[in-house]
Amino acid sequence: MLELKQQATTDSLTGLTNRRALEDDQPSGAYALLSFDIDFFKRINDSFGHAAGDQVLKKVAAVMTKAVREGDAVYRLGGEEFLVVLPQIDPAMALGIGERIRSQVKVLDLQGLAPDGGVTISAGLFVADPDQPLPFDAALAMADGALYLSKEQGRDRLTVA
């Protein structure tokens, strides 16, 4: 039974936990959400094929996993969308982790897998105020809104909600 649950909550491509797992893992108190999206990912699949796109997803997931603290959680929500949940964190540290992920993805060597041999990511950060709690769905919507502002403002950036 435990193995079935693990299969249901793990992204088979990247090994990250998936959106279904997020339903059971919602944080509370002082936490932050980093919403990420690989910029122009469709171009990778269109130009280099889905196998190349899959390799890019795996490499980006590996960067995210290595860049976070023990106890943080990285999720693949679907397609090229990722979420990082940072429990018990202050805004400055959350921003630092988000920028570290963004800058490390930008320097990934993806020759033969992506145009110009690399990719960028856009990000949105929401930091929860434990004194004014929001429902998790609202917090996620705030992080996503900041992500879309990053895209509108030119991509390859992190915007704070």
**Active site residues per annotation:** 80
Q: Which amino acid is at 115?
A: P
β strands within 5-79, DSSP E? 17-18, 31-38, 73-78
Could you tell me if 61 and 108 are in contact, meaning their C-beta atoms sit under 8 angstroms apart?
Answer: no
Cα 126 from Cα 143, distance rounded (Å): 5
